[in-house]
Amino acid sequence: MKKTYYVLVAATLLLGACTAEQKPQAEPIVEAIEPVITTQQITVTPQQVYTGDTVLINHTHAIQQEPTNIQQWQQEQLALGSADLSLHIHAPLTAMLTAAQQDGVDQFVMNNGYRSVADQQLLYEQKGSELALPAGYSEHHLGLAVDINSRNGLMEHTAEGAWLAENSWAYGFILRYPADKTEITGIAYEAWHFRYVGLPHSYIMQKENWALEEYIAYLQQHKQYRTTYNDIAYEVQYIPVSAPTTVEILKDVLYNVSGDNAGGVLITTQQQFARQ
Protein backbone atom coordinates (compact mmCIF):
# COMPACT_ATOMS: atom_id res chain seq x y z
CA MET A 1 0.00 0.00 0.00
CA LYS A 2 2.78 2.41 0.96
CA LYS A 3 4.67 1.45 -2.18
CA THR A 4 1.68 2.34 -4.32
CA TYR A 5 1.36 5.70 -2.53
CA TYR A 6 4.97 6.64 -3.21
CA VAL A 7 4.58 5.76 -6.87
CA LEU A 8 1.53 8.03 -7.18
CA VAL A 9 3.31 10.92 -5.49
CA ALA A 10 6.34 10.60 -7.74
CA ALA A 11 4.17 10.49 -10.82
CA THR A 12 2.29 13.59 -9.69
CA LEU A 13 5.52 15.53 -9.14
CA LEU A 14 6.90 14.46 -12.51
CA LEU A 15 3.71 15.51 -14.28
CA GLY A 16 3.83 18.90 -12.55
CA ALA A 17 7.45 19.43 -13.61
CA CYS A 18 6.64 18.63 -17.23
CA THR A 19 3.66 20.98 -17.15
CA ALA A 20 5.85 23.77 -15.76
CA GLU A 21 8.45 23.24 -18.48
CA GLN A 22 5.83 23.38 -21.22
CA LYS A 23 4.33 26.69 -20.04
CA PRO A 24 4.73 29.19 -22.91
CA GLN A 25 7.20 32.04 -22.28
CA ALA A 26 6.41 35.68 -23.07
CA GLU A 27 8.15 36.98 -26.22
CA PRO A 28 10.73 39.74 -25.50
CA ILE A 29 9.82 43.19 -26.84
CA VAL A 30 12.47 44.45 -29.26
CA GLU A 31 12.31 48.13 -30.22
CA ALA A 32 13.52 49.10 -33.70
CA ILE A 33 16.62 51.31 -33.60
CA GLU A 34 16.88 53.85 -36.37
CA PRO A 35 20.33 53.82 -38.03
CA VAL A 36 22.42 56.95 -37.50
CA ILE A 37 23.11 58.55 -40.86
CA THR A 38 26.57 60.13 -40.84
CA THR A 39 27.08 60.74 -44.55
CA GLN A 40 25.38 62.50 -47.42
CA GLN A 41 25.61 62.18 -51.17
CA ILE A 42 26.39 65.00 -53.57
CA THR A 43 26.63 64.99 -57.35
CA VAL A 44 29.46 66.61 -59.28
CA THR A 45 29.35 67.29 -63.01
CA PRO A 46 31.96 67.62 -65.77
CA GLN A 47 31.21 71.35 -65.98
CA GLN A 48 32.59 71.82 -62.46
CA VAL A 49 36.01 70.62 -63.62
CA TYR A 50 36.49 74.03 -65.27
CA THR A 51 35.29 76.34 -62.50
CA GLY A 52 36.43 77.30 -59.02
CA ASP A 53 39.42 78.75 -57.20
CA THR A 54 41.79 75.84 -57.88
CA VAL A 55 41.52 75.82 -61.68
CA LEU A 56 44.97 75.31 -63.19
CA ILE A 57 45.93 77.59 -66.06
CA ASN A 58 49.38 77.18 -67.58
CA HIS A 59 51.09 76.45 -70.89
CA THR A 60 49.29 73.09 -71.19
CA HIS A 61 45.93 73.93 -69.64
CA ALA A 62 43.88 76.66 -71.32
CA ILE A 63 40.85 78.32 -69.77
CA GLN A 64 37.56 76.66 -70.74
CA GLN A 65 35.11 79.10 -69.18
CA GLU A 66 35.64 82.80 -68.50
CA PRO A 67 34.20 84.33 -65.32
CA THR A 68 31.10 86.50 -65.28
CA ASN A 69 31.32 88.14 -61.85
CA ILE A 70 34.18 90.57 -62.49
CA GLN A 71 34.09 93.92 -60.68
CA GLN A 72 36.63 96.63 -60.05
CA TRP A 73 38.54 96.54 -56.77
CA GLN A 74 39.75 99.95 -55.62
CA GLN A 75 40.73 100.96 -52.10
CA GLU A 76 42.71 104.21 -52.22
CA GLN A 77 43.55 104.03 -48.52
CA LEU A 78 45.27 100.66 -49.12
CA ALA A 79 46.82 100.87 -52.58
CA LEU A 80 47.23 103.07 -55.62
CA GLY A 81 45.40 102.03 -58.75
CA SER A 82 42.71 99.41 -59.20
CA ALA A 83 42.15 95.94 -60.59
CA ASP A 84 39.19 94.11 -62.10
CA LEU A 85 38.75 90.90 -60.12
CA SER A 86 36.19 88.21 -59.31
CA LEU A 87 33.87 89.70 -56.74
CA HIS A 88 34.35 86.98 -54.14
CA ILE A 89 38.07 87.73 -53.74
CA HIS A 90 37.57 91.43 -53.03
CA ALA A 91 37.09 90.83 -49.29
CA PRO A 92 40.20 88.64 -48.74
CA LEU A 93 42.31 91.04 -50.81
CA THR A 94 41.13 93.97 -48.68
CA ALA A 95 41.77 92.02 -45.48
CA MET A 96 45.29 91.13 -46.63
CA LEU A 97 46.33 94.67 -47.52
CA THR A 98 44.71 96.00 -44.33
CA ALA A 99 46.81 93.59 -42.26
CA ALA A 100 49.94 94.69 -44.13
CA GLN A 101 49.11 98.32 -43.45
CA GLN A 102 48.73 97.55 -39.75
CA ASP A 103 52.26 96.14 -39.89
CA GLY A 104 53.51 99.40 -41.40
CA VAL A 105 53.70 98.07 -44.97
CA ASP A 106 51.51 100.32 -47.11
CA GLN A 107 53.14 101.34 -50.38
CA PHE A 108 51.17 99.01 -52.65
CA VAL A 109 50.24 99.62 -56.27
CA MET A 110 47.56 97.55 -57.98
CA ASN A 111 48.17 96.66 -61.60
CA ASN A 112 46.79 93.89 -63.76
CA GLY A 113 43.74 91.88 -62.74
CA TYR A 114 41.26 90.22 -65.07
CA ARG A 115 42.12 90.17 -68.76
CA SER A 116 39.83 88.74 -71.42
CA VAL A 117 41.00 86.19 -73.97
CA ALA A 118 40.56 88.80 -76.70
CA ASP A 119 42.72 91.33 -74.85
CA GLN A 120 45.36 88.66 -74.24
CA GLN A 121 45.48 87.90 -77.94
CA LEU A 122 46.10 91.57 -78.68
CA LEU A 123 48.83 91.72 -76.01
CA TYR A 124 50.46 88.60 -77.42
CA GLU A 125 50.52 90.09 -80.91
CA GLN A 126 52.04 93.32 -79.61
CA LYS A 127 54.70 91.88 -77.27
CA GLY A 128 55.37 88.41 -78.65
CA SER A 129 55.93 85.10 -76.89
CA GLU A 130 58.91 86.34 -74.87
CA LEU A 131 56.80 88.80 -72.88
CA ALA A 132 53.24 87.50 -73.16
CA LEU A 133 51.38 84.21 -73.01
CA PRO A 134 49.13 83.02 -75.85
CA ALA A 135 45.44 83.85 -75.54
CA GLY A 136 43.66 81.37 -73.29
CA TYR A 137 46.75 80.41 -71.30
CA SER A 138 47.03 83.34 -68.90
CA GLU A 139 45.89 83.20 -65.27
CA HIS A 140 44.57 86.73 -65.69
CA HIS A 141 41.62 85.23 -67.59
CA LEU A 142 40.28 83.84 -64.29
CA GLY A 143 39.83 87.08 -62.37
CA LEU A 144 41.67 85.36 -59.51
CA ALA A 145 45.16 86.70 -60.25
CA VAL A 146 46.43 90.18 -59.51
CA ASP A 147 49.74 91.93 -60.06
CA ILE A 148 50.70 93.93 -56.97
CA ASN A 149 53.70 96.24 -57.03
CA SER A 150 55.36 98.72 -54.67
CA ARG A 151 55.91 102.44 -54.91
CA ASN A 152 59.34 101.86 -53.37
CA GLY A 153 60.84 99.75 -56.15
CA LEU A 154 60.87 96.19 -57.44
CA MET A 155 58.75 93.86 -55.37
CA GLU A 156 61.58 91.42 -54.73
CA HIS A 157 63.54 94.23 -53.03
CA THR A 158 60.79 95.93 -51.01
CA ALA A 159 58.92 95.42 -47.74
CA GLU A 160 55.69 95.04 -49.73
CA GLY A 161 57.06 92.08 -51.67
CA ALA A 162 58.55 90.46 -48.57
CA TRP A 163 55.35 90.86 -46.53
CA LEU A 164 53.12 89.38 -49.22
CA ALA A 165 55.49 86.48 -49.91
CA GLU A 166 55.43 85.58 -46.21
CA ASN A 167 51.79 86.25 -45.32
CA SER A 168 49.57 86.07 -48.40
CA TRP A 169 48.73 82.38 -47.85
CA ALA A 170 46.81 83.26 -44.65
CA TYR A 171 44.29 85.16 -46.82
CA GLY A 172 43.94 82.49 -49.49
CA PHE A 173 46.57 83.86 -51.90
CA ILE A 174 49.78 82.28 -53.18
CA LEU A 175 52.85 83.67 -54.88
CA ARG A 176 52.09 81.89 -58.13
CA TYR A 177 55.52 81.94 -59.76
CA PRO A 178 58.24 81.59 -57.09
CA ALA A 179 61.93 81.76 -57.93
CA ASP A 180 62.53 78.09 -56.98
CA LYS A 181 59.65 76.70 -59.07
CA THR A 182 60.39 78.01 -62.55
CA GLU A 183 61.01 74.54 -64.01
CA ILE A 184 57.63 73.40 -62.70
CA THR A 185 55.52 76.43 -63.57
CA GLY A 186 57.30 77.21 -66.83
CA ILE A 187 57.24 80.90 -65.87
CA ALA A 188 60.14 83.07 -64.70
CA TYR A 189 60.05 84.41 -61.14
CA GLU A 190 57.32 87.03 -60.73
CA ALA A 191 57.44 88.60 -57.27
CA TRP A 192 54.32 90.64 -58.04
CA HIS A 193 51.91 87.96 -59.31
CA PHE A 194 49.50 86.64 -56.67
CA ARG A 195 46.77 84.10 -57.26
CA TYR A 196 43.75 83.40 -55.08
CA VAL A 197 43.13 79.70 -54.40
CA GLY A 198 41.40 80.02 -51.02
CA LEU A 199 41.94 78.25 -47.72
CA PRO A 200 42.93 75.53 -46.93
CA HIS A 201 44.66 75.21 -50.30
CA SER A 202 46.96 78.20 -49.81
CA TYR A 203 47.88 76.90 -46.34
CA ILE A 204 48.68 73.43 -47.68
CA MET A 205 50.82 74.78 -50.51
CA GLN A 206 52.72 77.04 -48.13
CA LYS A 207 53.20 74.19 -45.65
CA GLU A 208 54.45 71.75 -48.29
CA ASN A 209 56.28 74.33 -50.41
CA TRP A 210 54.24 73.36 -53.46
CA ALA A 211 53.42 75.30 -56.59
CA LEU A 212 49.85 74.87 -57.81
CA GLU A 213 51.02 72.29 -60.36
CA GLU A 214 52.59 70.20 -57.58
CA TYR A 215 49.51 70.42 -55.38
CA ILE A 216 47.21 69.24 -58.16
CA ALA A 217 49.62 66.46 -59.10
CA TYR A 218 49.75 65.23 -55.49
CA LEU A 219 45.96 65.11 -55.22
CA GLN A 220 45.59 63.37 -58.56
CA GLN A 221 47.94 60.65 -57.36
CA HIS A 222 46.96 60.29 -53.69
CA LYS A 223 43.28 61.34 -53.93
CA GLN A 224 43.19 62.91 -50.46
CA TYR A 225 44.86 65.41 -48.15
CA ARG A 226 43.91 66.06 -44.52
CA THR A 227 45.08 68.93 -42.35
CA THR A 228 44.04 71.12 -39.45
CA TYR A 229 44.35 74.88 -39.46
CA ASN A 230 43.00 77.43 -37.00
CA ASP A 231 40.87 74.84 -35.15
CA ILE A 232 39.27 73.61 -38.37
CA ALA A 233 39.76 70.08 -39.70
CA TYR A 234 39.95 70.04 -43.49
CA GLU A 235 39.76 67.10 -45.86
CA VAL A 236 40.44 67.57 -49.57
CA GLN A 237 39.30 64.73 -51.84
CA TYR A 238 40.21 64.48 -55.50
CA ILE A 239 37.50 63.01 -57.73
CA PRO A 240 38.06 62.36 -61.47
CA VAL A 241 34.92 63.46 -63.33
CA SER A 242 33.99 62.58 -66.90
CA ALA A 243 30.23 62.19 -66.28
CA PRO A 244 27.84 63.16 -63.47
CA THR A 245 29.31 61.43 -60.42
CA THR A 246 27.81 60.76 -56.98
CA VAL A 247 30.21 61.28 -54.08
CA GLU A 248 29.67 60.44 -50.42
CA ILE A 249 30.85 62.98 -47.84
CA LEU A 250 30.24 63.57 -44.15
CA LYS A 251 26.80 64.84 -43.25
CA ASP A 252 26.21 68.36 -41.89
CA VAL A 253 29.64 69.73 -42.83
CA LEU A 254 30.56 72.73 -44.90
CA TYR A 255 31.93 71.72 -48.27
CA ASN A 256 33.19 73.28 -51.47
CA VAL A 257 33.65 71.87 -54.97
CA SER A 258 36.36 73.34 -57.19
CA GLY A 259 37.78 72.07 -60.47
CA ASP A 260 41.38 71.58 -61.49
CA ASN A 261 40.87 72.10 -65.25
CA ALA A 262 42.61 68.76 -65.73
CA GLY A 263 39.87 66.16 -65.47
CA GLY A 264 38.76 66.30 -61.86
CA VAL A 265 37.41 68.27 -58.92
CA LEU A 266 38.58 68.98 -55.38
CA ILE A 267 35.90 68.44 -52.75
CA THR A 268 36.91 70.19 -49.55
CA THR A 269 35.04 69.57 -46.30
CA GLN A 270 35.59 71.38 -43.02
CA GLN A 271 34.63 70.78 -39.41
CA GLN A 272 35.09 73.28 -36.60
CA PHE A 273 36.77 72.00 -33.43
CA ALA A 274 35.36 73.24 -30.13
CA ARG A 275 37.96 74.95 -27.99
CA GLN A 276 38.45 73.35 -24.57
| Residue 22 maps to a domain | no
pLDDT at 3: 45
Same domain (yes/no): 224, 192: no
Structural domain range at position 119? 66-196
Same domain (yes/no): 190, 162: yes
| Residue 20 maps to a domain | no
| Residue 226 maps to a domain | yes
| Residue 26 maps to a domain | no
Contact 223, 237 (CB under 8 A): yes
pLDDT at 32: 54
Q: What is the pLDDT along the chain (276 residues), one digit of tens a residue?
A: 444 444 444 444 444 544 444 555 555 555 555 556 688 999 999 999 999 999 999 999 999 999 999 999 999 999 999 999 999 999 999 999 999 999 999 999 999 999 999 999 999 999 888 888 999 999 999 999 999 999 999 999 999 999 999 999 999 999 999 999 999 999 999 999 999 999 999 999 999 999 999 999 999 999 999 999 999 999 999 999 999 999 999 888 999 999 999 999 999 999 987 555
Judge residue 196's burial from the number of C-beta atoms within 10 Å of its C-beta, 0-12 exposed, 13-18 middle, 19 or more buried: buried
| Residue 221 maps to a domain | yes
In this structure, the number of other CB atoms found within 10 A of the CB of residue 197 comes to 24
Q: How many CA atoms, within 13 angstroms, populate the side-chain half-sphere of residue 181?
A: 18
Same domain (yes/no): 191, 222: no
Same domain (yes/no): 114, 176: yes
- CATH code for position 231: 3.30.200.180
| Residue 60 maps to a domain | no
Entry pTM? 0.85
The partner residues of 194 in beta bridges, in order of sequence, read 146, 175
| Residue 24 maps to a domain | no
| Residue 30 maps to a domain | no
- CATH code for position 87: 3.30.1380.10
Same domain (yes/no): 141, 168: yes
Alpha-carbon distances of 40 from 46, 108, 123, 135, 242, rounded to whole Å: 20, 45, 47, 41, 21
pLDDT at 11: 44
Same domain (yes/no): 49, 94: no
Same domain (yes/no): 260, 183: no
Instruction: Give the number of domains in the chain.
Output: 2
Catalytic residue list: 190
